[in-house]
Amino acid sequence: MNNWTKLKLKVRLCYLHFMPNSTPITESWAAKIRIQLEMDAALIKQFQDANRKQKKSFHWGNIGWQIENAASECELILRSSDAEDLDQYMARVLPAITDLASSYRLSNIDESGYALGTVRELEQVLIEKSHHGK
């Protein structure tokens, strides 16, 4: 995730916390930002894991790069436009992440299963958020 996107989401979250009472905002928009921040944290964790494995490639082989590629693909899916509300966001990203996981499961490229595991971890966070009232 690029720094500009992270900063934009953090500014929005701070704005929600300190905004004047006269400013209309939907709870759905606030929930979407919270979910995006949690997804950012999950992505950062995956990129850090990939980096650690890349630094020890003598042990892990190319698994670090597979994790990084899977996390990058998820990052692209998880991007959101300002016009997209929470329901639209979840309706778009959940099936896309599930499809990506299916493609990794069927692929010969991810023999170790670490890329699939990366996608499944992110998918699990989304599913949890969708079931717990977002």
Q: What is the reported pTM?
A: 0.78
For the segment 76-131, what is each residue's pLDDT rounded down to a tens digit? 999 887 788 888 889 999 999 999 999 999 988 888 999 999 999 999 999 988 77
Distance CA 57, CA 125 (A): 28
Domain count, the chain: 1
Contact 84, 31 (CB under 8 A): no
For the segment 29-82, what is each residue's pLDDT rounded down to a tens digit? 778 888 888 898 899 999 999 999 999 999 999 999 999 999 999 999 998 877
Distance CA 118, CA 71 (A): 7
Q: Please tell me the predicted confidence (pLDDT) of residue 31.
A: 81
Q: Please tell me the predicted confidence (pLDDT) of residue 1.
A: 53
Residue 61 sits in which domain range? 3-131
